[in-house]
Amino acid sequence: MDPGTSSTATRPSRGRGSRGRPRGSRVDSRGNRSASTNLSTDVSNTAPRVCVCGINAVQRTVLKEGPNKGKKFWCCSKPMGQPDKCNFFEWVV
């Protein structure tokens, strides 16, 4: 073995792909990370929606007990009770 070589090869940093979010992970609207269990993503589910107000809608999840609990939907991003909040609503399919 040459004095200038080592039996352990070192690899250069892979750059951006070697840190940050793991491949296949997602960040929800609150900044929480979750691993993706479905590698084929339907673009229609993730493409931003624009509500009647003309601003980007937000995706929310039903928390209330009942048959729709856990289902995702799109709605106006303005806070509840705000006078100019529109009634935009669309289930995520």
Query: Across the 93 residues of the chain, what is the mean pLDDT of every consecutive 10-residue run?
Result: 52 46 46 40 68 96 98 96 96 94
DSSP string for 20-39:
SSPTTEEE-TTS-EEE-S-S
CA–CA dist 16, 36 (Å, integer)? 19
CB 76 within 8 A of CB 52: yes
Closest alpha carbon to 63 in 53, 54, 72, 74: 72
> What per-residue confidence (pLDDT) applies to 48?
86
> What per-residue confidence (pLDDT) applies to 44?
55
